[in-house]
Amino acid sequence: MFQAMWDQLGITGWQALAVVVSTTVLFWVFTFLMSYLGQQMRARVTVTSFALMAVIGSVTARSMLGNHPTMSGGIIALLVLFAWEAVFRILGSRLRRPIVPVRQARVVLTDGVVDEEALKQAHVRTTDLMVRLRHAGITHLSDAGLVIVERDGTLTVIRAGQTVDEELLAGVVL
């Protein structure tokens, strides 16, 4: 009986090391993938993007835990993930440059005119921009004086005729 319980709960030292290594490698791969794809996925959640994230999550979890997942392996994987997140948070607050490249906020529409090149650099399709403008209550392109795709993929819409303090545009690619 003890052996059956150990098979479900326990882990050897080598298995624990394998969980730490695989969790670390997958964390970094996933972090860099999401730094590239994340903004696009936040911009529009579709059934396929949700399905993709679910599959990625299950494949990643299975890869971290190995052929015989145990509770101890799961706890070790979680501790490693939380440790890496803490490292990012601590280093991110102390470093002048982010560890993972962060997209800059950029203007994609000025005085009702869409800047296709800026959209491309922000990884936003024109059709997605139009949907997001409609959600923001814009009924005519000329109603939008300035549209900024923020670093996190959200949209800031400044209506035509409104002025903006220069301080608020610091760090925005114009």
Q: Provide φ and ψ at 140, rounded to 5°.
A: -140, 140
Reported in sequence order, the residue ranges of the chain that DSSP labels E, i.e. its strands, are: 106-110, 113-114, 144-149, 155-159
Instruction: Tell me yes or no: is domain 106-169 CATH 3.40.50.720.
Output: no
pTM above 0.75, yes or no: no
Residue pLDDT tens, the chain, 174 long: 777 777 777 888 899 999 999 999 999 888 877 776 665 555 566 788 778 888 888 888 888 888 888 888 999 999 999 999 898 888 776 766 555 556 788 999 999 999 999 988 888 889 889 988 998 899 999 999 999 988 877 889 999 988 888 898 888 888
The three-class DSSP label of residue 10 is: coil
Reduce the DSSP state of residue 57 to 3 states and report it: helix
Instruction: Locate the domains of the chain by residue range.
Output: 2-94, 106-169
**Cβ pair 122, 106 in contact under 8 A:** yes
